[in-house]
Amino acid sequence: MAQIRANSVLPARREAITLQTADGLNLVGEVAVPEDREPVATLVCLHPLPTHGGMMDSHVFRKAAFRLPALAGVAVVRFNTRGTSSLHGTSEGEFDHAEGERYDVAAAIEYAEFHDLPNIWVVGWSFGTDLTLMHGHDPAVRGAILLSPPLRFSTTEHLETWAESGKPLTALVPEHDDYLQPPEARERFASVPHAEVVGVDGAKHLWVGDAETVLDEIVRRVAPDVPLPLPRDWDGPMETADTSGYADRTVAAFKDVPVPGPDES
């Protein structure tokens, strides 16, 4: 039995994929599914701001892909939105302030649907939560989970769409978030009566040190039959990923870069 660490990679069937958008771009991505069984649910992951280091390999989503297929039977689809780079490669196009990214979100959901991946949930993080609220309300989507939602690009109109549909919507909000903390989040999400706003004590916007809590809360909603907390140890084959290539994608590296807003071009 070995401890599951930050870069531990548990068994799964992993495949590099290319998502093709309706406006003609190729996006770099990966799908990870359980090695020895059919998945019980599927996560389509929408990453933080690419202008501030966000990418498909941002740590919570990387750990989801490394662990959840084996620990929870959950498939994980992650990709770089237009103009975003990671060690997996660079997606075509340019960052478009949450507008052109509508095609990116649609392509990822379409991929999951076309490949018969079940019980599709969109999981957005930071900028990805805006993409989720704005563009993730698709007939194929079961519900959505928001990690550190800043509500920067999304509007009350987008929230109303989720309110009208009744689809499950959960916001995990860090106690010490830089943009939206639990008390204000509860006020902002009040227009979605069924929305679940979960304040996470001690956590910050980037969930450093709290990835296990996030993964447990995601699984609690998308695969409720899976026992929690998820195992912290693994008795079986386990590899270690080399993530040293992301040393320059830290928060400190972008501390002087202005955060774009919805009206900037």
Q: Are strands 2-3 and 233-234 parallel, antiparallel or unpaired?
A: antiparallel
Q: Average the pLDDT over 51-68 and give the result.
A: 96
3-state secondary structure labels for all residues of 13-27: EEEEEEEECCCCCEE
pLDDT (tens digit per residue) in 148-182 = 999 999 999 999 999 999 999 999 999 999 999 99
Tell me the C-alpha distance between 258 and 105, whole Å: 25
Residue 187 confidence (pLDDT): 97
Tell me the C-alpha distance between 244 and 128, whole Å: 24
Q: Are strands 74-79 and 141-147 parallel, antiparallel or unpaired?
A: unpaired
Q: Domains in the chain, please, with CATH?
A: 7-254 (3.40.50.1820)
pLDDT tops 70 at residue 139: yes
pLDDT (tens digit per residue) in 68-102 = 999 999 999 999 999 999 999 999 999 999 999 99
Q: Average the pLDDT over 168-197 and give the result.
A: 97
Q: Average the pLDDT over 244-264 and give the result.
A: 65
Residue with tokens 């052109």: 100
Mean residue pLDDT across the chain: 94
pTM: 0.95
**Spatial contact of 88 and 80, defined as CB atoms under 8 Å apart:** yes
